[in-house]
Amino acid sequence: MTTAKPASSSSQAGEFDLGALLAERGAERYELHTRHLNHQLPRMLHTIGFDKVYERAEGPYFWDADGNEYLDMLAGFGVMGLGRHHPVVRKALHDVLDAQLADLTRFDCQPLPGLLAEKLLAHSPHLDRVFFGNSGTEAVEGALKFARYATGKPRILYCDHAFHGLTTGALSVNGEDGFRDGFAPLLPDTALALGDLDALARELKKGDVAALVVEPIQGKGVHEAPPGYLRAAQELLHKHKALLILDEVQTGLGRTGDFYAYQHEDGVEPDLVCVAKALSGGYVPVGATLGKDWIFKKVYSSMDRVLVHSASFGSNAQAMAAGLAVLSVMENEQVVAGARATGEQLKSRLTALIDKYELLADVRGRGLMIGIEFGRPKSLKLRSRWTMLQAARKGLFAQMVVVPLLQRHRILTQVSGDHMEVIKLIPPLVIGEREVDRFVDAFTDVMDDAHSGGGLMWDFGKTLIKQAVANR
Ligand SMILES: Cc1ncc(COP(=O)(O)O)c(C=O)c1O
């Protein structure tokens, strides 16, 4: 008698084989993007010489096909808070897959979301409940909806240069025209200058404001809310029965040397807090909107409203397991204290260079969220070159620094937003002295080159100018 092989046997010919697929087609990566995805990404990468083939990654490093090591000072826009492939997070994901949980039945209560909510709330004692979605922008959408429903008012205030995500609600509170243009009409909204309490008071008097949404340190340009602003804004908002939403999608989970950036100052107790990015462990997209009990009770006021704000993949077991593992590593490895100490070291070493380099205007930020701003040089020789770049497009000098950092020193950084002469450093929080040394040495070398006035760097600047003009 023959026994039929189960249909799910993994050794069957023709089964999906990821390794074989990558071996066979991996080399087509840039062509595939050009043909089927956003074609401007490969185009941009070719233009600035960033079209590398990275093959492997671990912690704050990745390696190209030739075995060259690259230092990551970008952390996948902040999602790799623990670096890539942290063994504890990996194990948690293997374990959760092997457990074959009855996940996403949608008509039961799974333990992992409750456990992750409990852990997150332990870091924010004045908050009571959590909604889990799948991204940062979704966490913000949730907060905007909750604030409008709970207050019964429509308008959201936000700050100039704010970035809260790119879905339509979050886009309505985006402080950059470049992102908004062509997508109107958006939600009723009003932008304020970060730190302007008079403007906030003026808007609140109109009586239609549900909330102010703020990043404690703005991702675009690395601008901090001025000391005392969040607390004073909170008081004003509450006086007018409006809410404070803090977007900690980028700044949260230790990035700035506190678990949340708002904890830098006493007395700030936001009504709603958004987190995402690093909670994923770099593996499973996740977003969380944390809030006060009365807000959740109002939104979910009856059994009929149980699904009024929900997401098919929200609270899925893989995301929850990754989040729990991330928070456990953060506690066991004292990641927040490490980020604070390493950040102070990096910032003070960079700040010391301001007197040495006339093109270096400012170093700011907290923890491992550091902005390096370039500015108009004093000497005539450099000033004419600087002016020429500025006339073509603001932000080209910062790009001129980012490119040799990768090309010559194999360090990945980014310009912190369009038309900004600011580089932002948001490395994995697990970097230490070795990485600080490597970055400062490389940055010093690039700055020496820029100040020598000649050389490849300014030639590259000319290429960028040509492209900027051609793209107009
Ligand atoms: C402060 C802030 N909020 C929201 C978002 C949006 O997050 P996501 O890209 O996961 O939608 C970002 C992303 O960079 C962010 O920095």
Predicted local confidence at residue 5, as pLDDT? 46
Please provide the average confidence, as pLDDT, over all residues in the chain.
94
61: helix, strand or coil: strand
Evaluate: CB of 141 within 6 angstroms of ligand 1.
no
Quote the CA–CA distance of 124 and 291 in Å, as a whole number.
10
Mean pLDDT calculated for residue range 260-281: 98
Residue 287: pLDDT band by 50, 70, 90 thresholds? very high
Is residue 252 within 8 A of residue 275, CB to CB? The reply is yes
Residue 446: pLDDT band by 50, 70, 90 thresholds? very high
Q: Identify the bridge partners of residue 109 per DSSP, sorted by sequence position.
A: none
Quote the CA–CA distance of 382 and 454 in Å, as a whole number.
10
pLDDT tens digits for range 17-34: 999 999 999 999 999 999
Report the 10 Å Cβ neighbour count for 346.
25
Predicted local confidence at residue 59, as pLDDT? 98
**Predicted structure pTM score:** 0.95
- Angle (CA) 30 31 32, round 5°: 90
How far, in Å, from the CA of 98 to the mean position of ligand 1?
Answer: 31
Q: Identify the bridge partners of residue 463 per DSSP, sorted by sequence position.
A: none
Q: Identify the bridge partners of residue 366 per DSSP, sorted by sequence position.
A: 369
Which of 245, 250, 280 to mutate to test ligand 1, by most ligand atoms within 8 A of the CB atom? Answer: 250
Quote the CA–CA distance of 189 and 207 in Å, as a whole number.
13
Quote the CA–CA distance of 162 and 348 in Å, as a whole number.
26
Contacts 24+ apart (CB under 8 A), 235-239: 236/197, 236/200, 236/201, 236/204, 237/200, 237/204, 237/209, 237/211, 237/212, 239/204
Predicted local confidence at residue 381, as pLDDT? 87
Residue that wins the pLDDT comparison between 381 and 112: 112
- Per-residue pLDDT at 455 exceeds 80: no
Residue 465: pLDDT band by 50, 70, 90 thresholds? confident
Which of 77, 79, 249 to mutate to test ligand 1, by most ligand atoms within 8 A of the CB atom? Answer: 249
Predicted local confidence at residue 309, as pLDDT? 98
Predicted local confidence at residue 100, as pLDDT? 98
Is residue 320 within 8 A of residue 119, CB to CB? The reply is no
pLDDT tens digits for range 346-367: 999 999 999 999 999 999 999 9
What tokens does 401 get?
């620094």
Alpha helices in 300-432 (DSSP H): 317-332, 335-351, 380-392, 396-407
Q: What domains, with CATH codes, occur in the chain?
A: 48-78+335-470 (3.90.1150.10), 87-332 (3.40.640.10)
Name the residue with the closest Cα to ligand 1, atom 10.
Answer: 136
What tokens does 271 get?
């009504």
Which of 135, 277, 279, 280 to mutate to test ligand 1, by most ligand atoms within 8 A of the CB atom? Answer: 277
Predicted local confidence at residue 19, as pLDDT? 96
Evaluate: CB of 248 within 6 angstroms of ligand 1.
no
Q: Is the peptide bond before 227 cis (omega within 30 degrees of 0)?
A: no
Evaluate: CB of 175 within 6 angstroms of ligand 1.
no
Name the residue with the closest Cα to ligand 1, atom 7.
Answer: 136
Half-sphere exposure of residue 273, counting CA atoms within 13 Å on the CB side?
29
- Angle (CA) 276 315 430, round 5°: 35
Residue 463: pLDDT band by 50, 70, 90 thresholds? confident
The alpha carbon torsion through 316, 319, 325, 330 (nearest 10 deg) reads -130
